[in-house]
Amino acid sequence: MMPDLEDRIIDLETRLTYQEAMLQELNDVIVDQRHAIDGLTKTVVALRERVQALHLANTASCSEETPPPHY
């Protein structure tokens, strides 16, 4: 092989190796973020349910409400 062509092939193989490593690293970051998003989603659902339960517990029905003072 010609030295210039061999150097170009080595350069391409080196770049490919770095790109594969970077791709794996990015994939790992995406997986970690997916786990974080799943955890945050569960937290939001739990908080929404808790707020809704508190709202329902603090809201009296129409028959239980006392009339306003101007009545």
pLDDT tens-digit series, residues 47-56? 999 999 998 8
Sequence-distant (6+) residues with CB within 8 A of 1 are: 9
What is the value of pTM for the model shown? 0.65
- For all residues of the chain together, what is the average pLDDT? 90
Residue with tokens 């190796």: 17
Q: Taken in order 46, 49, 54, 55, is the CA torsion positive or negative? A: positive
Give the confidence band of 70 by pLDDT, cuts at 50, 70, 90.
confident
